[in-house]
Amino acid sequence: MNVLESRIDTSGATYRENFAAMKALVEELERELRTAREGRSEKARQRNAELGKLPVQERLELLLDPDTPWLEIAPLAARGMYDGGVHGAGSRSGIGVVRGREVVVHANDPMIKGGTIYPLGVKKSLRVQAIAMENRLPMITLVDSGGAFLPLQSEIFPDIDDGGRIFYNQAQMSKLDIPQITAVMGLCTAGGAYIPAMSDHVVHVRGTGAIFLGGPPLVRPATGEDVSAEELGGADVHCRESGVSDYPADDDADAIRIVRDIVGTLPAARKADFPGRPPREPLYPAEQLYGIVPRSLQTAYDVRELLARLVDGSEFLEFKELYGPTLVCGWAYLHGFLVGILGNNGVLLSQSALKATQFIQLCDRQGIPLVFLQNITGYIIGREYERGGITKDGHKMVNAVATATVPKLTVIVGASFGAGNYGMCGRAYSPRFLWMWPNARIGVMGGEQAATVLISVKNEQLAREGQPPLPAEAVEMIRGPILAAADQEGGAYHSTANLWDDGILDPAKTRDVLGLALAATRNAPLDGRRQGHGTFRM
């Protein structure tokens, strides 16, 4: 492989200005993440302590092996939504190591609205289950929830991607032989009672854990029984009488000890045989990424400069370097794993799309995971390009992305607009993981483009009616709100709040996050894959 030689002047004014701008975005991100982890009321903390419960952070620290990595999923879900206090959509989730085994963990946070489930809390649960299923990872659930947030029940209950899908997924996971371990550490009520009931192992904490389809407030008016939560669904009831739970625990720490012991009994994972070699650090410091990425998405830069700071030894074997140069494709090692990388260097042309299609086919055939670095405004448009077949050539690329069977990882490092989002493996194309950088933008098109299109459409309508074009004031009345909406709804925080991604990354940590994700994907075997990409329009 060739060594990528950086041409960045790290002493130049542009680099320093870019660095300062990105550093400010990263510092903002760190503040947001800290608030999501720690922003709890003193009243909630006291109540949790009075019940003898551990904070969710301490539960995670006891569960996970010491000094092992934790890849958190969607830590800023629901940011700024509801009343602004439903941090992480009410839970902490991620991939960690327990007894030397990679696992998915989903833990309710009882200090956020008593663990009440909001609509985005359901969406986060489903996303975490999807990660467990796609990567064949055992799933540990630490349940401590008062059930659905009833004022928003119509957004939680009936649809295919609402609460019932959680239990459907549990059945599918069981069918796939994915171990499911649940620790009942607080209330587990209504539909949530099926989470332990459909798990392989259930640990139940005495005194605080309670499982029931209807809690005391429902039982009393329905049956006339006056019963406590412990009498109705406590550990003794379900470990001794109903058989719903398997292991009684004295407290949170004891429950987590038992969970760790259970993980220790699981059969060894069958690892996919990805090509690899011993990892090597890049030749250039990761923090130089801050100064490389321009402050404006309209400013072009060479994606190879990113690769030089992400891949092992800054080595890269480029595929078809002279053909379709607006898309860089090639092979590199990342934390020792061989990967195929696709990174944008401009708008997607027919040649770029055809190159991508061939490259994706090669990687899929050879069992090499794909990494997409998105900075794309879309596919080229215009009379010449339509006659040249950009639509059918773009279709080939989209088809190849959709049908590739190897793991796909996506990082949106800049723009992610229109069909370019699809071709570069956006969320709809099922990458195993997708992240954004804090400078990234996402949408059908950029705000300025959208405003120009709408103003043009209106002027054409006026022309057909024999009227003059819009005056400057009217143009601004259209343009201003569109730009404001695009700025708000196209940003990384809006995306991550709505779970369009798995989190916002500090660019300097991207290499390590990709390495952890690649390691996790190895738990799903690649054998039995069906090769093929459907029909290509010629």
Please write down the HEC assignment for all residues of 237-250: HHHHHHCCCCEEEC
- Which run of H or E residues covers position 96? strand 91-98
**130 burial via Cβ count (<10 Å: 0-12, 13-18, 19+):** middle
Return all residues near 315 (Cβ < 8 A) that are at least 6 apart: 1, 2, 3, 4, 332, 333
Distance CA 237, CA 438 (A): 49
Distance CA 281, CA 311 (A): 8
- Which run of H or E residues covers position 415? strand 408-417
Alpha helix (H) residue ranges in 348-446: 350-366, 383-387, 390-403, 418-423
For residue 344, give the 3-state DSSP assignment: strand
Which residue type is seen at 485? A
CA end-to-end span of the chain: 33
Tokens of 383: 């009379």
Instruction: Report whether 125 contacts 106 (CB < 8 A).
Output: yes
Tokens of 395: 């279709």
Distance CA 460, CA 104 (A): 54
For tokens 């190159």, name the residue: 355
Amino acid 528: pLDDT: 53
Amino acid 535: pLDDT: 62
| Ranges in the chain, pLDDT < 50 | none
**327 burial via Cβ count (<10 Å: 0-12, 13-18, 19+):** buried
Closest CA to 397 of 351, 339, 456: 351
Q: Model's pTM, two decimal places?
A: 0.93
Amino acid 538: pLDDT: 56
- Residues forming a β-bridge with 520: none
- Residues forming a β-bridge with 219: none
Instruction: Report whether 253 contacts 54 (CB < 8 A).
Output: yes
Amino acid 531: pLDDT: 59
Distance CA 32, CA 36 (A): 6
Closest CA to 93 of 77, 78, 82: 77
Amino acid 536: pLDDT: 67
For residue 514, give the 3-state DSSP assignment: helix
Query: In Å, how far are 78, 94, 161 from 135, measured between CA atoms?
Result: 25, 13, 20
Return all residues near 402 (Cβ < 8 A) that are at least 6 apart: 429, 430
- Residues forming a β-bridge with 331: 317, 340
Distance CA 246, CA 85 (A): 35
Query: In Å, how far are 78, 149, 162, 240, 375 from 120, measured between CA atoms?
Result: 6, 11, 10, 35, 27
For residue 126, give the 3-state DSSP assignment: helix
